[in-house]
Amino acid sequence: MNAISNPSSEPQNFDSLRLELRRGCLIVAVLAQLRVEHYGYTLRKALADQGLAIEESTLYPLLRRLETQGLLTSQWREEDKRNKRFYKLSPAGELILTQLLAEWNSINDSVNNILQHSKSEVIS
């Protein structure tokens, strides 16, 4: 029996595909948001305020990975009597973000064209 005809696998398939889709979107969103300096909590709140909630257990490993890749810089500073790590897009991160946004727009245009084309075929 294939997954399409097995109703019990549909939520699992959707969740898996949704997670895969979100991963790439989160990278672009985090890089874009870090054009302005944030520490983890304010970054998470800014993303959530714009409709893209992200768990701490997803955000902090992502920040570390992006910093290791040279796309972010970070600095420990004391604020409100607490040490906080502030993140900002590095020059390399700015270049990568520009490239990712161009790719994002190209993919988005292509998918919209495909959806419009397939919609018109259904109507015809």
**Per-residue model confidence (pLDDT) at position 38:** 97
Question: Tens-digit pLDDT profile for the chain (124 aa)?
Answer: 444 555 556 878 999 999 899 998 999 999 999 999 999 999 999 999 999 999 999 999 999 999 999 999 999 999 889 999 999 999 999 999 999 999 999 999 999 999 998 877 766 5
**Per-residue model confidence (pLDDT) at position 6:** 58
Which of 94, 98, 31, 33 is CA-nearest to residue 66? 31
**Per-residue model confidence (pLDDT) at position 3:** 46
Which of 45, 42, 40, 83 is CA-nearest to residue 62? 40
Bridge-based pairing of strands 82-89 and 38-39 is: antiparallel
Flag whether the pTM goes above 0.85. no
* CATH fold label, 9-123: Arc Repressor Mutant, subunit A (1.10.10)
Report d(CA 101, CA 33) in Å as an integer: 13
Q: Which residues of 34-50 are buried (b: 16+ CB within 10 A; e: fewer)?
A: beeebbbeebbeebeee
